Structure 1
Amino acid sequence: MKAIKNKTALITGASSGIGEAFAYELAKQGSNLILTARSQDKLNFLADKISREYNVKVDVFAGDLLQKDTPSQLYSQIKQKGLSIDILINNAGFGKWTNFLDETTQQYEDMIEININALVKLCHLVLPDMLQKREGAIINVASTGALQPCPYVAVYCASKSFVLDFSEALYGEYSKKGITITALCPGNTTTGFQSVAKANTKGMPADTPNEVAKQGIKALLQNKSFKIVGKMNYVQSFLPRFLTRKAMINVVSGMMNSKVNG
């Protein structure tokens, strides 16, 4: 995709954090928006503010991606309203920093449902229309945690490893058919993630949601299969190439153990 002006972008998890930042940044660059999250009130407030500030069309559809039928219901509602999705931003997701056995299997099932299943379903739903137009773009928000095994964040980081591998695999299938699929890998970001995850990020550098969104859109327009946000995160991404897998596990384990149990 060469330009995003006058295109329509569907953003999941749009009511706060990185999703909200994507909404503002895309609107600033002339994209119309379809916003979804659980809170109808937050979405309505955001839609009203963005549409007035940037003079773009904003539609909202509240829904809970924990429910297995939500992606298909959302897609049907969008089509029934006569809307077309040119850009998909799969941003919704959550994680937990914890000893593996200190969380319930239900919590992990919910994490996998949002971080993996809903993301895959939405990609499967929007790709046929994009292929028919021979143009489209998808940003799947992964994480720098996708780049190596992460003790004490085991399920979350494994789910983001899936997102990274899945996105790059789709890029290999569809990039020559006019579709850009980019895995976006931010590190620590100043959002509500830390509160939900009970993440002790004290002393860790952090990017802003706006910077993450800007770099994601730039990577999409440059037809990149993935983008690591932040220079230091990019430098650290080389560590798994120089250390054995066991050594890398030990490094991350030592760091995260002190954050979770220290």
Structure 2
Amino acid sequence: MRVGGNLVADDRDGKVKSAPEKSKGLSRKRKRRKKKAVRAVQRLFETCKQVFAEGGPGVIPSPENVDRLRSLLDTLKPDDVGLSPNSPYFQNFGIDGPPPVTYLHLYDCPNFSIGIFCLPQAAAIPLHNHPSMTVFSKILLGSMHIKSYDWVNDPQSSNVKIKSSSGACLAKVNTDAVFTAPHRTSVLYPTTGGNLHCFTAVTSCAVLDVLGPPYSDDEGRTCMYYKEYAFSSFPGDATLALGKNEEHAWLEESGSKPHDLVVRRAEYRGPRILEP
């Protein structure tokens, strides 16, 4: 039994002897991994502070800052944030309907937030938007299907969406594919890059999101969910000069969070962020 430091008790005579060299080596490796993880999370926080220092609704970081934060997230690994495929968030909960999603909160301030969504196999986060936000999404482990859209605006008025007779708005597919960790961090912008997206866990998976700025009901950045209809659902409501019909869909606000979406908040147990 370990009693502290590099000492263990001898079960035969109660004397204390030095731990085997192998145990010492493992202990040093664990310490190095822990220090590396602490540095990685703290560096992420410091970089976000700088990247979003002049941020605000609809403000996109400079291309240099986007590349800087993206490159840093690309190096992030599950154990840097205390995750592994054996983490309890990925277990089969044995319930009817989609498994619950677990959210681990790392940090938030008026300029940005950092959090991790953990999805057991077959769990899903339905189609939703990110109003006036720039979002960095890094798949930490597992495989997930991502489908994303951008709004299609009226050619005669770039700020007006094309609507169907029922009020649904036209959107074009940006991404529709399965991504497996490690994969390059994806970035979506206020009006491009797949601002509306949904996640479905092909295997148990985790994705770290950096939102700049974060959601805020008080400031009009409320998360909206959408129902998706095939383009052919409203024939004659829009004429597409370019592209194929299957690249488009009609999206209609669902009005509230889907009843079968369960998001549980759990304590983040990875390295803590230290503020000055």
TM value normalised by structure 1: 0.26
Higher strand share: 2
Q: With a CA cutoff of 8 Å and minimum separation of 6, indicate the structure with the bigger relative contact order.
A: 2
Structure number with greater Rg is 2
Higher helix share: 1
